[in-house]
Copies of this chain bind each other. A is one copy, B any other.
Amino acid sequence: MIGRFQPFHNGHLQVIRGVSRQQDEVIIAIGSANESHTPRNPFTAGERYHMIQASLEAGDIENYSIVPVPDINRYAVWVAHVESYCPPFNGVVTRNPLTATLFGERGYEINEPTPVKRSDYSGTEIRKRMADGDFWEDLVPPEVVDIIGVIDGVKRLQSITKTEKGAVDDQ
């Protein structure tokens, strides 16, 4: 399963729980592992690793591996790049059409996860609520709330968003 997990939320947890029951093992690839402190990727790969691990442990899921994968910015070689970071795998769980196309062209089985209520379980929505100071805590596992609290993540996201919006002089 490939995602950016910005942040890890209840929708991710539900999909992983489902796959973990059907498969021997789930490999969770953290995409854009090199990115952090941007509006689209506020958290580091290590922080996301921590969120996933803590949530799965609390959820009694054990048959998983977590693999941070940095961007390579060359879609033509991206499948080979992901393969080189992960233990061997047979299929890919994704709802992203480009990911499905790229892995499909290389012969992998593509599984689209059963849809969950999307409007609620979306990284974009959660980041928007954080930036706007709205309530987001019910969309993620409690372990994620704790970790984001410790790193003062909401304030970080708000600083980044202000910068991007050009609310300040560009010096």
Residues of A within 8 A of B (CB): 2-6, 11-12, 33-38, 44-47, 49-50, 53, 65-70, 72, 74-81, 83-88, 94-102, 118, 121-124, 155-156, 159-160, 162-163, 166, 168-171
Judge whether A168 and B37 touch: CB under 8 Å: no
Which residues of B are found within 8 Å of A96, using beta-carbon distances? 163, 168, 171
Which residues of B are found within 8 Å of A50, using beta-carbon distances? 87-88
Using A6-B170, A99-B163 as known contacts, list a sample of 8 further A-B pairs with CB atoms less than 8 Å apart, ordered by residue number in A.
Answer: A4-B170, A5-B171, A46-B88, A65-B66, A96-B163, A98-B159, A98-B160, A101-B160
User: What is the oligomeric copy number?
Assistant: 6
List 25 A-B residue pairs with CB atoms under 8 Å apart, sorted by A's residue number.
A4-B170, A4-B171, A36-B74, A36-B84, A44-B76, A44-B84, A44-B85, A45-B84, A45-B85, A46-B86, A46-B88, A47-B87, A49-B85, A49-B87, A66-B66, A70-B70, A72-B77, A74-B81, A76-B81, A76-B83, A77-B81, A97-B160, A99-B163, A124-B166, A124-B170
Judge whether B84 and A11 touch: CB under 8 Å: no
Which residues of B are found within 8 Å of A44, using beta-carbon distances? 76, 83-85
Which residues of B are found within 8 Å of A45, using beta-carbon distances? 84-85
